[in-house]
Structure 1
Amino acid sequence: MKRLVVTGAALLAATAITPASAQRARITPYVEASQVVAADLNGGDVLTYSTLGAGIDAQVQSRRVEVQVSYRYEHRFDYQNKLNNDHTHSGLATVKAAVAPGLSIEAGGIATRTRSDVRGDVQTSNVGNFSNSAQVFSAYVGPNLATHLGPMFVNGAYRFGYTKVEAPGSTGLAAGQPRLDYYDDSKVHVATASVGVKSGTVLPVGITVSGSYTREDAGQLDQRFEGKWGRGDVVLPIMRGLALAGGVGYEQIKISQRDALLNGAGQPVLDGAGRFRTDPNSPRRIAYDLDGVFWDAGVIWKPSRRTFFEARVGRRYGSMSYTGSLSYQPTPGSGIQIGVYDTVQTFGQQLNGGLSNLPTSIASSTDPFGNQFQGCIYGTTSAATGGCMNAVLASATTSAYRARGVTGVAVMGRGGTRFGIGGGWAKRDFIAPTGGTGFTTNGTSDTTIYGQLFASTDVGANGSLQGSVLGSYYNSDIPGNDGIYGWGANAAYTHRFGRLGATLSTGIFGFERDGESSASAQALLGLRYGF
């Protein structure tokens, strides 16, 4: 059931629409077969195997419903008994359905892979054997309300999210390093509400009052996250397109968990999947307990409908905090979005939140090497350029953390040609109990720097050419870590013969850290039949 979470909500919404009511509907299930060759460029073996896959591509656009689904399951057959991973899931689904004026239901899901240990190897391609890589599934669903009550606007939303990470295989770490727990699953509830008036309607200034409640329960060590806040904001116009903004609020955040069960040698007891078992007699230990006032102030600049900029500085989580956003829409098919964020959260919350911010129309990509949903995901319109998942997928950490960073995506499209570029910087300061048993990540941090380039163009009436380049850097101050670079590039040509399509793809991927490097050249020939 967990593996079907990516497509379920989207397909239900799609089948609920009659063809007459849909402005555009395309639902294409398919099967495919491929032959893969991966050559270790560091003097290792050449790995050859076959794959059989099945999936669905669906897009529905109507007055009331927007659906996009891309899901693929692949099973691998190795002739040399050298593969340690025999199947993968890869997919993304986004759904938005208007059920009444001002009221909509939104849902989404993703199936991809994440790094397991923040200190371990970088897996820049899903070809061959995976190291320090685990399958992850995440989905959310909930209603959104946006209406007016006289001169006041009223907004509200609720989101339920679920995230599951399978246990990894090897991580590539040297022996003797402190053992970290493996992420299992989490359930999160998020409710938000706001009410206010825009400047010039009732008062010369705009006023907004808002609040939020978050509750997350994670499967590992009985972890619990509970956060709530309320705030008031004022916007003061000072000239056309320019305004000053400021707000003050009060919040409470409490994060807790229990200890791991230890054996006679003082080492954590593991379950069958390699995760820590919870000590049933352990007291609930507090990892984070925040209770206080926060504030921020800044500027809002909107010189036209195509440009928006906001920057704020304030104090939150016990230190200075910086947030902001920039969007620019030069043409209907091109746009830029940049965001600066600062928040306390968890892996499950951040993955669910990033998923919910993705657009309902995603640029299609033929990436047989499986990187399509692990990094930057590009939209097709200037108003929804997409987002990058690199920061959260840096590793599936069980600890909560303070997440700070900047991320940006730009897309450009004209005719049958599209370009996308994304990148960013992210830092996570980990939050975990102290004074318990075993090694704690409390007070440690990691840094991620990433960049990605994507391009596609039509070649004649039935062909398409696509390519991508990616690079990343991960570093952590957890003992046993060395900064590690990951890189890769691939190109794919697809030719369609009616319902049958043939793809030829080549790529080179690798990583490098102090005293160690790995590189692999890869090639794939595949056939896909769409029904």
Structure 2
Amino acid sequence: MRLTHSFGAAMTALAMIASPALAQDNAGAPQRGQSGRAVELSPYIEVSQVVLAELSPGDDVLTYTQVAAGVDAVLTGRNSGGSVSLRYERNISYGDDQLDSDTISGVARGYMSIVPNTVTLEAGALASRTTVDGSGGTSANPLVVQDQESRIYSAYAGPNVTTRAGDVHVNALGRVGYTRVESPDAIVTTAGAEPLDVFDDSVTYRGEVHLATKPGEPLPVGIAVGGGIFQEDISNLDQRVRDIHWRSDVTVPVSPTLAVVGGVGYEDVEISSRDVLRDANGTPVVGSDGRFVTDTSAPRRIAFDVDGLIWDAGVIWRPSRRTSLEAHVGRRYGSTTYYGSFAWAPSPRSAFNLSVYDGVTGFGGVLTNSLAALPTKFEATRNALTGDFSGCVAGETGANCLGVFGSIRSSTFRGRGVQASYSRQVGRYSAAVAAGYDRRKFIAAPGTILAAANGVTDESYYITTSVSGELGANAGFTVGSYVNWFESGFADGGDVVAMGSSASYRRTLTPNLSARAAVSLDYLDSDLSPEDIKAASGLLGLRYDF
């Protein structure tokens, strides 16, 4: 068994999925009155020597050279803005080419105004890799077992429109997204267990339009109407999620800082797929990519079909520029739904954010919507030892985390959960903590090979922490830790626990050259593995910042 560190971590933040009306993305739009143009560009190269010691179940000690080049950039302008953190790594092993690898990891999001203050084009992208366990779970920042490694890529782009027609505010958006999972053996097998169909790729489409008036312009209450469509086409067995809705909303001010809101509308949600191609003996056919082959001649099978009245009611509380609460309860997808958010910045140096979500989608829809919810000005948090993206970014309003991948099964699902983050800066030191819970109830058509997944629930939990600071004028440190739990509801599945900590020290040698030292401990426990995996790592290297 060969181990190396995770190249990337990811996400499950779904706040944008659940919104039944268009949520205006202020982070992705230029601000009126903004002037000037600033570019913060930080390219670098690194050369490091890494030692990885397997503590259990074996005692291998592996040594390799790590060569990396990357760039962190932030653009702030009158009509454009965005952030990117991109890193390329080459690992060069000694005497064992199984450790040789090339990896690109990073995250980016930005916008460009086509018509200032009216039409903007926004986009986002992510590249990372993780381990796929035999139960379908993934974790952020664990040791990657190479024979179970998957690389994950996701990107989206589309226009936003914000304008006015008299007292009516008009918001609209259109997005196209693409997500792909590359795995050397897509169907992960464990002795005596059924094969696991890992997500391959999908294309997502989203379009929404929203017309609204504010209370007092001209009516005492605010009135809004809107509608939209979301569709995800998943290559695995030709699965398709289609959600079409329209609704009307009313905002009733109770006080200058509190309003009661309510809405009613109609929604039609349908999930369908085809069955697997079978040979003469009735055995499912598996393609060269390790995934089930779709029987394109077979008719579509309906897995989920709900249409009818939707409604919700809630409150919006904004007592100051630093505090905002929105909470809703209602009915959607044929059952009760809850969603909302809370943002609190008790001081300019601290921030707390909480979101609750509920939505029906596939794995690709999760990633593209999570990317769209990131701010456009951020600094990516990376692993203290390797520089891998941790899944969190630090923005002007606090930390924003993509979460963990959760289950990477190909089946569509209803995802519910909550995520929270808190960040604080004290003098030269900064700290952040993030936690989340994600519950995915799978949806599959009866009579198909995915039928066994229908109604099964997988749950994921995660906690990440980081502390960094300056030690005088020429030195600094970073300490980080993570804990991920994955609980599979499948009979042949199991629980996975991954945890670890890392610490690094850097010292400036010249204005552009610095030395680095880092250590880490990682632990991976899976019910489907006979023994736990424990490893310790150390790094010594040099970094040159241009």
Q: Do they superpose with TM above 0.5?
A: yes
- Tell me how far 1:397 sits from its aligned partner: 2.3
Q: Provide the residue aligned with 1:328 in structure 2.
A: 344
Superposed CA RMSD in Å reads 2.4
Q: Provide the residue aligned with 1:460 in structure 2.
A: 472
- What is the one-letter code of the residue matched to 2:86? Y
User: Which string of whole-angstrom CA distances, capped at 9 and with x for unpartnered residues, describes residues 234-266 of structure 1?
Assistant: 111223312211111111122222211223454
Q: Provide the residue aligned with 2:76 in structure 1.
A: 61
The reply to whether residue 193 of structure 1 matches residue 203 of structure 2 is no
Question: CA 1:141–1:111 in 2, change beyond 3 Å: closer, same or farther?
Answer: same
- What is the one-letter code of the residue matched to 1:248? V
Q: Provide the residue aligned with 1:418 in structure 2.
A: 430
1:380–1:411 contact (8 Å) kept in structure 2: no
The reply to whether residue 260 of structure 1 matches residue 276 of structure 2 is yes
- What is the one-letter code of the residue matched to 2:88? Y
Question: CA 1:123–1:197 in 2, change beyond 3 Å: closer, same or farther?
Answer: closer
User: Which string of whole-angstrom CA distances, capped at 9 and with x for unpartnered residues, describes residues 423-472 of structure 1?
Assistant: 11110000111112466311111011111111111222232211111111
- Tell me how far 1:173 sits from its aligned partner: 5.7
> Aligned equivalents of 2:490 and 2:97: distance in 1?
32
1:474–1:483 contact (8 Å) kept in structure 2: yes
2:254–2:260 contact (8 Å) kept in structure 1: yes
The reply to whether residue 505 of structure 1 matches residue 521 of structure 2 is no
Q: Provide the residue aligned with 2:67 in structure 1.
A: 52
| Identity fraction in percent | 37
The reply to whether residue 76 of structure 1 matches residue 91 of structure 2 is yes
* Ranges in structure 2 where 5+ consecutive residues have no aligned partner: 1-34
Q: Provide the residue aligned with 1:37 in structure 2.
A: 51
Q: Provide the residue aligned with 2:232 in structure 1.
A: 216
- Given candidates 368, 379, 390, the residue that maps to 2:394 is 379
Q: Within 5 A, what are the aligned runs for 1:448-527?
A: 448-496=460-508, 497-514=510-527, 516-527=531-542
- What is the one-letter code of the residue matched to 2:274? R
> Aligned equivalents of 2:210 and 2:77: distance in 1?
29
- Tell me how far 1:502 sits from its aligned partner: 2.4
> Aligned equivalents of 1:491 and 1:338: distance in 2?
28
User: Which string of whole-angstrom CA distances, capped at 9 and with x for unpartnered residues, describes residues 328-382 of structure 1?
Assistant: 122234211101111111111110010111112223445255575353x132312
- Tell me how far 1:491 sits from its aligned partner: 0.8
1:233–1:246 contact (8 Å) kept in structure 2: yes
> Aligned equivalents of 1:120 and 1:251: distance in 2?
31
> Aligned equivalents of 1:457 and 1:364: distance in 2?
16
- Tell me how far 1:190 sits from its aligned partner: 0.6
TM-score, normalised by the number of residues in structure 2: 0.87
Q: Provide the residue aligned with 2:446 in structure 1.
A: 434
Q: Provide the residue aligned with 1:174 in structure 2.
A: 190
Q: Within 5 A, what are the aligned runs for 1:96-135?
A: 96-99=111-114, 100-117=116-133, 119=135, 125=141, 129-130=145-146, 132-135=148-151
Q: Which moved more, 1:507-516 or 1:333-342?
A: 507-516
2:239–2:273 contact (8 Å) kept in structure 1: yes
Q: Provide the residue aligned with 1:300 in structure 2.
A: 316
Q: Which moved more, 1:128-137 or 1:170-179?
A: 170-179
> Aligned equivalents of 2:298 and 2:275: distance in 1?
6
Q: Within 5 A, what are the aligned runs for 1:398-417?
A: 398-417=410-429
> Aligned equivalents of 1:338 and 1:175: distance in 2?
41
> Aligned equivalents of 1:389 and 1:195: distance in 2?
32
- Tell me how far 1:53 sits from its aligned partner: 2.2
> Aligned equivalents of 1:510 and 1:172: distance in 2?
21
> Aligned equivalents of 1:158 and 1:34: distance in 2?
44
Q: Within 5 A, what are the aligned runs for 1:345-360?
A: 345-360=361-376
- Tell me how far 1:122 sits from its aligned partner: 5.4
2:425–2:431 contact (8 Å) kept in structure 1: yes
The reply to whether residue 24 of structure 1 matches residue 38 of structure 2 is yes
Secondary structure of the equivalent of 2:195?
Answer: coil
> Aligned equivalents of 1:187 and 1:361: distance in 2?
26
Q: Provide the residue aligned with 2:176 in structure 1.
A: 160
Question: CA 1:278–1:122 in 2, change beyond 3 Å: closer, same or farther?
Answer: closer
> Aligned equivalents of 1:484 and 1:197: distance in 2?
49
Secondary structure of the equivalent of 2:543?
Answer: strand
Question: CA 1:200–1:114 in 2, change beyond 3 Å: closer, same or farther?
Answer: farther
- Tell me how far 1:222 sits from its aligned partner: 2.0
- What is the one-letter code of the residue matched to 1:506? V
- Given candidates 447, 452, 459, the residue that maps to 1:447 is 459
Question: How many positions carry a matched residue from both structures?
Answer: 507
> Aligned equivalents of 2:217 and 2:465: distance in 1?
44
* Ranges in structure 1 where 5+ consecutive residues have no aligned partner: 1-20
- What is the one-letter code of the residue matched to 2:415? A
- What is the one-letter code of the residue matched to 2:87? R
- Given candidates 155, 158, 161, the residue that maps to 1:145 is 161
Secondary structure of the equivalent of 2:364?
Answer: helix
- Tell me how far 1:289 sits from its aligned partner: 1.6
Q: Provide the residue aligned with 2:5 in structure 1.
A: none
- Given candidates 341, 344, 354, the residue that maps to 2:357 is 341
Secondary structure of the equivalent of 2:480?
Answer: strand
Question: CA 1:220–1:257 in 2, change beyond 3 Å: closer, same or farther?
Answer: same
1:112–1:374 contact (8 Å) kept in structure 2: no
> Aligned equivalents of 1:338 and 1:203: distance in 2?
32
1:365–1:466 contact (8 Å) kept in structure 2: no
- What is the one-letter code of the residue matched to 1:41? L
> Aligned equivalents of 1:134 and 1:285: distance in 2?
29
Q: Which moved more, 1:25-34 or 1:40-49?
A: 25-34
1:98–1:105 contact (8 Å) kept in structure 2: yes
Q: Provide the residue aligned with 1:10 in structure 2.
A: none
Q: Which has the higher contact order (CA 8 A, sep 6+)?
A: 2
Q: Provide the residue aligned with 1:389 in structure 2.
A: 403
